[in-house]
Amino acid sequence: MDNILVKRYVHTSYDNWPGKITSLIYLGGCNFRCPFCNTPELVKNHQAVPNLNFSDVISHLTNRKNWIDAVVITGGEPSLHKADVIEMLNELKAEGFKTKVETNGFDLEFITELNKLQLVDLWSIDIKASLDMYKKATDIDVKAETMRRTIKAVIESGVNHEFKTVAVPGLHDKFQIFKLAQELQGAQKYIIHNFDPSSTLDPHYMIIKPFTEKQIAALAEQARQFIKDVEIR
């Protein structure tokens, strides 16, 4: 486990999995270049971020087993480290932790394999925009059908899941959220995060003002036409 490198470890979180106290493990690198990304240090130049050994992380987690309910693996993009993620999840499950994995959903094989291994208790799929807007949202070419297959597979998998979107003025509006929620019809939960301009991959996005509470609430109402459980965070 000493060869598995973690970029960040958050000991305690109360708002990542409702009803559970979680710890967060961040991995480096991402295949998307979303200009509004709020962890730019884990995307562009993650090699410069000091490493933690997973063996130290799991040791700390094990000592806090009576306090921590679940562990979240996020990034960056965990699907770029499939073998390491499988090893981490096996260890976490062996210690009795519930597990959540956050991913951009681009690599359906990653999701399918982990489901076959029954290593994930909750998937969190980060849907960047309506499917016709993915180029603008990710700065790479992503075919709509790629994401559509992931959405369908996750919804039909029988594994607990949530989809989430960071709502960014200029990228999202009521019509975009309407179209996106239509694609997500049948999902267990949809979470809308208001954009945070304090740290972004593209510095130009740091001057964008987030949506107001009223505006975010209006976006959520659009989504509720297709998804029963819509949450604003």
pLDDT tens column, 10-35: 999 999 999 999 999 999 999 999 99
pLDDT at residue 176 in the model: 95
Distance CA 215, CA 169 (A): 10
Mean pLDDT of the chain: 96
Using 50, 70 and 90 to split pLDDT, how confident is the model at 172?
Answer: very high
Range of the domain at 135: 5-232
Which CATH number covers residue 223? Answer: 3.20.20.70
Distance CA 111, CA 106 (A): 9
Q: What amino acid is encoded at 59 in this protein? A: S
Domain count within the chain: 1
pLDDT at residue 24 in the model: 98
Distance CA 118, CA 109 (A): 14
pLDDT at residue 1 in the model: 64
Q: Is 87 exposed, middle or buried (0-12, 13-18, 19+ CB in 10 A)?
A: middle
pLDDT at residue 215 in the model: 98
pLDDT at residue 49 in the model: 92
pLDDT at residue 22 in the model: 98
- pLDDT tens digits along 39-65: 999 998 898 999 999 999 999 999 999
